[in-house]
Structure 1
Amino acid sequence: MPKSIDDIIVVDKKRSIRDIPIPESRRNIPRYSPPFIPRSPEPPVTPNIDGSINTENLEIKGLSRFPRKRLWIASGVALVVLIFAILSIWNGATLAYVPKSASLSFNNDIYTARKSGEGELLYSVVKLSKEKGVDVPASGEEQVSRKASGTIVVYNNASTEAQRLIATTRFETTAGLVYRVAKDIVIPGKKTVAGVSQPGSIEVVVFADVAGEKYNIGLSDFTLPGLKGSARFSTIYARSKTVMSGGFVGTEKVVSGEEKTKARSQLETALREELISETTAQVPEDFILLPALSYVVFEDLPQTSSVNRGNVVINLRGNLYGVMFKRSDLFNHLAKEKTPLATGELVDIVDINALDVALMGGAPEGLPNSSEIKLSVTGQALALWRTDEVALKTDLAGRHKKDLSSILGNYPTVISATATIRPFWKSSFPDDVGRIKVEKLPVE
């Protein structure tokens, strides 16, 4: 029987990868797989109670330990370099020294001071005035008749000899108003200072010839009618220091004696404290004003009306007179009698106010015009020798620390000293004296 077409068609078999022939050139290539290295198991990550994960023991994969170590080393080196750089910028030195000292003992020792001269203890007199008032209740009213008063300065340009004026001497203004002194006064003679002639002078309080407000005047010039017709009329004269005030005739409130005494005592205490404080504050740095050598003279001023109805204001003026010395002159003058002082050496008496210093015979009434005073000194004090610290800094600048002993050999006023140089690795003082600090240590 003839075959049909279906009988001669070969059925197509499905081919798999196993049926694909492999080229001969690839049959002999050996296969390689890397060896298996078992990894150590990582510790389990246990969450905290709050749900967060503690990363302290976790290792970050891919980051080598060695780069981290080098980073820490580099940071440490940079920090050290930075510290050294900062210390080098803030370089400096401090010298702390103990000064030479000596104990001074005084037992009513007497010293003389003069207003002028050479090789002596010189002094000058300072004056400061201040007025103060206090409200007090009035005890009633009365008829009063009061004369105006004020302070004038009387000048003597007539001669080098002192001129005496008796009590009630008249001083007349250009308007013809007459005022008088209440007591005798002595005007110092004129003198020559630096080639210039200067008249002698004295301050004094004068009172109007007649009571009343007419004599309440401002500043004015005065002549002495009693000298008219003589050569001294133009060479002895006066000028106002304060205005003339207080003149009054009429009825005014009065204060009881007890209240007035109480008010005056209160004003005296306040004025004395304020005057001493203000005067001391005005004294130049190189000078010293001893409170023990200062005294205050009080002047009653006319009472004035108070803003408080039924009260009056009691007024008082305080005039402070003080004796002032140059510090180095006073300290050396007191010390040289008690301890040897080389030429040019200066000392400080650190506790000068602990000494009992007083004017012999009390405060003289004519202190502003006196030419000499005597002091009594009692007590114990400590004298410290001064060291020229500016020169010492200059000598230390740029020098090695080992040269300190030889440098201090030129400063006999230094007993001992220690030096600290910054930064610590440097061994020489800075070249800039501004970076060298000198400190005086207390004496034990």
Structure 2
Amino acid sequence: MKNIYLEQDEEIISVIDKLINSKGDSVNLFIPLGAQIWQSSINLKLLKREADNLEKEVNLIVSDDLGAEMAEKIGFSVKKEADFPVETIGEEDNEELDEDEDEDKELEIVEVEEEPIQESEVEVEEVPEEVLEEENRDMIDFLVDELKPEGKVASTALFFKKEDKKENKEEKIISTIANSEESRKRMADIINPRKNVQSSFLERNFFKRKPEQKIIKKTVKKEEIKISQKPKQDVFLNNENERIEDHISEEYISTKSFKWAKFLIIFIIIAFLIASLVGYLVLPKAEVVVYPKYENMDFDLSVVGSKEISQVDISLNKIPIQEIEVSKTASKEFESTGEKQLNEKAKGFVTVYNGYSSSPQVLVATTRFESSNGKIFRISDKITIPGAEISEGKIIASSIEVEIFADEPGESYNIDASDFTIPGFKGSSKYAGFYAQSKSPMTGGSTGKIKVVSSEDLENAEKSLSEEIKNEVMQAFEDQIPTDLKMIDSSLTEDIVIISTVKEEAKTDTFTLEIKAVVKALLFKEKDIKNLIDLNVISMIPEGKEPISKTQKIEWGEPVIDDENDEILFDLKVEENVAWKIDTISLKEELAGLDEIEVRKYLSNQIKIQESKVSFWPFWVNHIPKQKEKINITIDCKD
């Protein structure tokens, strides 16, 4: 069994460290009266948690009933120090004292006066009354909390409940003190009458004194002894302290929040009153919508569009028009579907030599030429081979190039370059003097069916490619039309031009068709038409009236295109409302400063006005502002 003695000011960290370093599974922990470990139940809870983690049995040896009660609540095995045998303590702790001998030798021993120590001169360390009372209060609070019903919180003298607003301050303090007294009475059954502090302290020190340790105390006067105890902060208590502080300050925060809320409400009311005053003096606006009296007029108008002019001619009712043309080229490869039976003969070119005489030699059509591999070729037309030249008694052969073709169709006549003889001269001296040579192979010989371009192939290819290119060119045409121009639908033309293609019956597996699409149309500015209409309307209406352009309606006739003169004739039927002209500047001067009744009365008496609407802003305003810039007048027309 291991014995551990705690100092009065020893912190929980040191206690846990001793517990970790102790040997054995069972430990007696001697805790003196007024020890720092009693300051909070959190210290005991931390100690209990570490003991459980280390799987050690910890017995607390205490000297007061209050500490024993609190330790038992947390789950410790508790024994009273008075009941523990003194001899046992000394014997069991000899090993510990031997281990700590080196450490004890380091203790500073002060000798001031080598006089016999008298009983009156030996002063014992005193424990301040306030410290003991504070520790007892902490223990009392812990045990009282254990006895209270769940959720009930003790009253304090620092903060009061908000429900007691009607009670005066004096009554609150008396009530709080009474509650505190009542708490003390409830604890009377678990707190023993307080014993002499010094005797308990001496008794505790007696058990802690180690054998053969000489202690020489400094002789001082009693009044020089000063005990100062600085509060020490337990790093393990942060979370618990925060919860306690939050609970204690709850009502205080609520009181401050109420004061701030009250201040905020007053501020909002004042701000609203100021804003209302500013709005009344600065913000008023008036919106007046006037519907003047009007009449309907309609007329027919003929308009000529011409490429020769660039602006509207009101005297001739002419407007400028323009032509837009867009073209696009496309090509595509198609497969041939036609077939044809062919018997083609191979053909090629040879050079015929005359090395026989200086006289020219005529060869008739179909003259045969035999290749080195025995294949017969013929010439299609008559040829004349020039005579050879004689130089210094030597014959220099002359030559002529001629096309030859195979005697029969087929691929067997597609031969490489070869030497040729003329079988017709065989058996005579000319056979060796006349001969031919080819520099390239004979080609084109074939028999069987081959692919050819049929008339259907050409027709289908043109139709397919035309559809594709029409869509593309029309999209490109629409993209190039300016937004302010309107197209004359009847002037739109589309032309397809075939640029290149193969001929019908052409021998090929595939062929390529290339075509060009051209789209063009006449366009005009609709704005020019409306301007021309407006000019005609103005010339027709009396003074003091004006057209209402948004009521204008135009009915278009079918345009007639005159290709000879590059003109288009438009027949239009126009309908538009004409209303009395309202002078908004003069109207603002008349309405400024009038209240709502006066405004409505004034507007209803105007012969030019059919109807009107008046609105004010903000909602409390009931008169027209005197500032003209705050009066907005809109002229509108009834549908």
TM-score, scaled to structure 1: 0.41
- Higher strand share goes to which structure? 1
Greater relative contact order, per chain length (Cα 8 Å cut-off, separation 6+): 1
- Higher helix share goes to which structure? 2
Say which one has the larger Rg. Answer: 2
